[in-house]
Amino acid sequence: MEIFHCLYFRILLTFTFIVSVVVATNPYSEALLSLKSELIDDSNSLDDWSVPPGGDTGEKVQACSWSGVRCNKNSTVVIALDLSMKNLGGELSGKQFSVFTELVDLNFSYNSFSGQLPVGIFNLTNLKILDISRNNFSGQFPEGVSGLRNLVVLDAFSNSFSGPLPVEVSQLDHLKILNLAGSYFDGPIPSEYGSFKSLEFIHLAGNFLGGTIPPELGQLKTVTHMEIGYNSYEGSVPWQLSNMSELQYLDIASANLSGPIPKQLSNLTKLESLFLFRNQLTGSVPWEFGKIVPLASLDLSDNHLSGPIPESFAELKNLKLLSLMYNEMNGTVPQGIGQLPSLETFLVWNNFFSGSLPRDLGRNLKLKWVDVSTNNFIGSIPPDICAGGLVKLILFSNNFSGRLSPSISNCSSLVRLRIEDNSLSGEIPLKFSQLPDITYVDLSGNKFSGGIPTDISQASSLRYFNISNNPGLGGMIPAKTWSSPLLQNFSASACNISGNLPPFHSCKSVSVIELHTNNLAGSIPGRVSDCQALRKMDLAFNKFTGHIPEDLASLPDLSVLDLSHNNFSGPIPAKFGASSSLVLLNVSFNDISGSIPSNNVFRLMGSNAYEGNPKLCGAPLKPCSASIAIFGSKGTRKLTWVLLLCAVLIVLIVASILGIFYFRRGSKGQWKMVSFSGLPRFTANDVLRSFSSTESMEAVPVDSSSVCKAVLPTGITVSVKKIELETKRMKEATEFMTRLGVARHKNLIRLLGFCYNKQLAYVLHDYQPNGNLAEKITLKRDWVTKYKLVIGIARGLCFLHHDCYPAIPHGDLKMSNILFDENMEPHLAEFGFKYLAEMTKGSSPATISMRETGELNSAITEELCMDTYKFGEIVLEILTNGRLANARGSIQSKPKEVLLREIYSENQTGSADAKREEIKQVFEVALLCMRSRPSDRPCMEDALKLLSGLKSQVN
């Protein structure tokens, strides 16, 4: 009994202590601890949120010392709560907010909060600042926001809200900043948004808003900054916006607006920035814009504007940016443009401008970026265009003539120089030792002479150099060219260059060497194995001698090697058969001898890759075994006649089959065949005959979206895709298919050629025997295999986006378009085919233009960003073994910490497993690629760098 009393006393004492602590805890501290219990805090950002054993003592609130909590001077009342950038997640109930009656500042920005925005926030009637930006709050914006009658700032940028914009916010009389951009709001902008009394900043861009822009917005007399673009409206720009007398910044870009630009906008006499690019605007640029004196940035690019640049623009003395690119404008550039004292960026590419550039262009010492490519400009390049420290000079595809101004050599700030496809002549005055920042130089397609500048190796930042198609250039390749530290692409084809190749010392970064159609001689220098990054070497149509170095076969990424039309001798190195990256090998028309190695990679190249070498034998050429000439032997004449009769019979049978085939299918014009260089040479009959066999007839694709397997008469199994095209689009389509055919990478399906007539095309590509990712996504893979799969897909996309000129968006990236070869290496299929399908509808999307139209093709950029998004989705599918079918929905509905824990579980990683960090980083890259705003996503080159940094052993 005594023991029982003692135990009872201890329990009672403990309970009394707990009660005293709870009672001693201040309501603010208690509410914040309750809030903390709802949060996911993997970084322990709120580690100091705790109450000592004695609870809050005295009048001061213990929570006032916690991170993110701010109180009044006496530390008795919490007046601000700043939890921004603390890597927090979870869903908020909002039940704690009733305590914070004096709160004036609430900041949850830059976290991963999800679920509904708690309506309890709207009871904080003293709140002046509410910042919930850059989170993942979802669902409709809740009612009740009008209760925040003292609110000055409402920032909800970059969340996942949906449904209509909240009309109630227009009742907030003190509101100065309203930011509801970067979510999924839909429907029209409420006309009530024109009734704000104090608003200065409104940002609604990057949603799914539609309808017409309400003219009532013109009543916002206090607004200085308005961004409502990146939506899909109907109709035109309301002229009533010209009544916004305080407006300084107006952005309605990428908004599907049509009609003319209202000249009344010239009444915005305080306007400094006007962005209306990427719409469907028509008509001419208003002459009246010359009266907007403060105007510093004017971007009307990517519309359907016509007519000239108004002469009145010479009065815009504050103008820094003038972008009229990608329109249908014409006429000459006013001379006054060259005299604008503040002009920094001048972009007019892809128009129909003519005449000379203003002679004074650049003399203002401010000019940084000029792009006038793809116009009809003539004359010389302004002599002082680089006087102010030019960074980008883009002049390609015009009719400029004369010599290149020596002043460009003194332009030490120059980063990009593109003057290809003009008629410039004389010696190249560039002094690379004085151009420390130059990364990209394209001088191709001109009439330069005097050879390549000898100091090219001193260009410490140079990555891309192209001097091709300057037939009078002459000279030799400078001795230390390959030692340029960052050089990746060196192209000097068709330049009448002579001499030998310089030694391959320090060539670790070089990936492309194109030197075809010159007078180069000698052998390929040793140590070519130092060029570990080499992907393409084209030395065709020269005078090279000696053996093909075995070192070439050891290069891990070499995919294209063209040595045709030279004087190489000796055998083909058998080591090429072990290459997993080689897709094109051409040694035709040399003095190669011996037998072609028997590996499958050599047979797939086709006979045209080896023809013109009399001493070479083996499949796919003649057999190597010596035999008696049957047809010259008297004892075998009967056999000869029998063989000839059999051959005639076979020809008659084949002709009959083809006749029946053509009769059944109907004649749609003569069939033609395009086989890509260095690949098996097929004829149109080879393709058509493969469809006439009994086993193949059922596989003939019936629509342009289907793919069939076919066995050609040569014995090669291929995949065939049928494309139906309009006759008037055939030329454009065949040009585009040819462009797709030369895109070669070990993670892309290799296109072999295409067969076409006036209405149909059959596109042939490698048949992959191991299915696609959609079929195998649920298979259990170890982490190393998954990682290699992700890297392979990223490399293929990166090649399309960054190594093809111009870039080729995939357009239809999905798991069923990722095929596996015999080694389970992933290959992207169907790249670019989306745009071929669009051709069947008579459209001609800007993304497939065969002629590059400037540095910033907005249509291509959008498609590339969508590829990146799809890549992020596929990575999440791979990480979860296909369990994350709706990636966007899962990301919106679950905190990323929860998803990550599920991924760890799916990949069977324990808490101490070293690969958890790698999985987390790949997961983070996927989330970056899936950001809601395309401009926030990384390019595939950056995504690949982030991924490749995890494991150096993956090739």
Q: Which residues are catalytic?
A: 812
SS (H, E, C) 73-102: CCCCCEEEEECCCCCCEEECCCHHHHHCCC
As given in the structure block, the two tokens for residue 399 are 């009719």
Question: CB–CB of 485/460 below 8 Å?
Answer: yes
Measured between alpha carbons, how far is 31 from 624 in angstroms, rounded to an integer?
A: 88
How many whole angstroms separate alpha carbon 691 and alpha carbon 688? 5
Distance CA 354, CA 331 (A): 6
d(CA 500, CA 541): 14
Angstrom distance (rounded) from CA 715 to CA 767: 12
Q: How far apart (Å, rounded) are the C-alpha atoms in residues 245 and 589?
A: 74
Helix (H, G, I), strand (E, B) or coil at 928: helix
Give the tokens for residue 585.
């090998």
Side chain identity, residue 494: A
Structure tokens at 49: 């949120």
**Residues in the chain, overall count:** 955
Q: d(Cα 520, Cα 497) in Å, to the nearest integer?
A: 6
HEC assignment per residue over 265-328: HHHCCCCCEEECCCCEEEEECCHHHHHCCCCCEEECCCCEEEECCCHHHHHCCCCCEEECCCCE
Cα separations in angstroms, 282 against 336, 428, 524, 748: 25, 41, 57, 40
Whose tokens are 């063209």? That residue is: 562
Q: What is the CA radius of gyration of the chain?
A: 34
* CA-based nearest residue to 809, from 725, 865, 746: 865
Q: CA–CA separation, 418 vs 446, rounded Å?
A: 12
Q: Rounded to whole angstroms, how far apart are CA atoms 752 and 782?
A: 34
The rounded distance, in Å, linking the Cα atoms of 368 and 796 is 34
694, exposed or middle or buried, with CB in 10 Å at 0-12, 13-18, 19+?
Answer: exposed
Give the C-alpha separation, 516 to 502, whole Å: 16
Chain Cα centroid distance, residue 817: 18
Residue 228: what residue type?
I
Query: From residue 488, how far is each of 439, 476, 618 by CA, in Å?
Result: 10, 19, 36
Helices (H), 111-265: none
Burial of 936 (0-12, 13-18, 19+ CB in 10 A): middle
Residue 336's closest CA among 322, 326, 350?
322
Cα separation, 458 vs 462, whole angstroms: 9
DSSP state of 334: P
Which of 456, 436, 443, 457 lies closest to 404, judged by CA?
443
Cis peptide before 934 (omega within 30 of 0): no
| CB atoms inside a 10 Å sphere around CB 230 | 22
H/E segment holding residue 927: helix 915-929
Q: How many CA atoms lie within 13 A of 323 on its CB side?
A: 24
User: Quick check: 915 and 783 in contact, CB under 8 A?
Assistant: yes
The CA distance from 393 to 407, in Å, is 13
Spatial separation of the C-alpha atoms in residues 2 and 289, rounded to whole Å: 98
Q: How many helices (H) and strands (E) does the chain have?
A: 15, 52
